[in-house]
Amino acid sequence: MSNHIFTSLLEALEEEYGSVTQAELANALKVTQPTISNWKNGGEPSKRNLKKLIEFFRAHHAATLVKPLLEFQPIQPVKSGNEWRFSAEQNVINHIKEETEKRHGLYLFYDSSGHAIYLGKTEASLYGEAKQRLKATPNRGTYVPIKTTKPQMGQVARYLSAYEVTNVAAVKNLESFMLRAFANDLRNKNGGKFKPSM
């Protein structure tokens, strides 16, 4: 076994799944923090402990894959020229932007009764994608007494939820799963397509 296998493996796992504290590692592997320090400095952990390290990171990754950013955030979209804004109130816009601009993942729009009407995904900025979607026309119309109209999303969306998906590769499949699970409720134009595994 090479002298720094633990350090190399730990660095690779942290690069892939995010860093953890030495105390979390010690607790997960059921060893002391000095033992972790020893391994980082060239000590040789057992094969069993290396397997436990990999399992710990898998579990840690699964537990942190989806992170709520906003849930049922009230919005009152207003039209500004050809664009839509989430609200006339700048503090609402700032809050949404601060929470979602530099994150990728999934977002949901809800109507005034709290029913989910649209699920979207992005591997770039949740803020930019959701703002852009306010201009879109949902797949199914909204019933009004005289006729069925197809309003823009900004006319019917009253709440926004946004979730960061920490692994970009999972975004597409999570969206596809949710679109299939709620196929009769959402107004998306397609049912999503699962991304094949490598």
- State the pLDDT at residue 191: 66
Nearest to 88 by CA among 70, 106, 75, 105: 75
Walk me through the domains of the chain, giving residue ranges and CATH numbers.
5-63 (1.10.260), 66-181 (no CATH)
Residue 150 Cα distances to 107, 119, 128, 179, angstroms: 21, 17, 23, 20
Single pTM value for the model = 0.74
pLDDT surpassing 90 at residue 187: no
- State the pLDDT at residue 64: 81
pLDDT surpassing 50 at residue 72: yes
- State the pLDDT at residue 143: 47
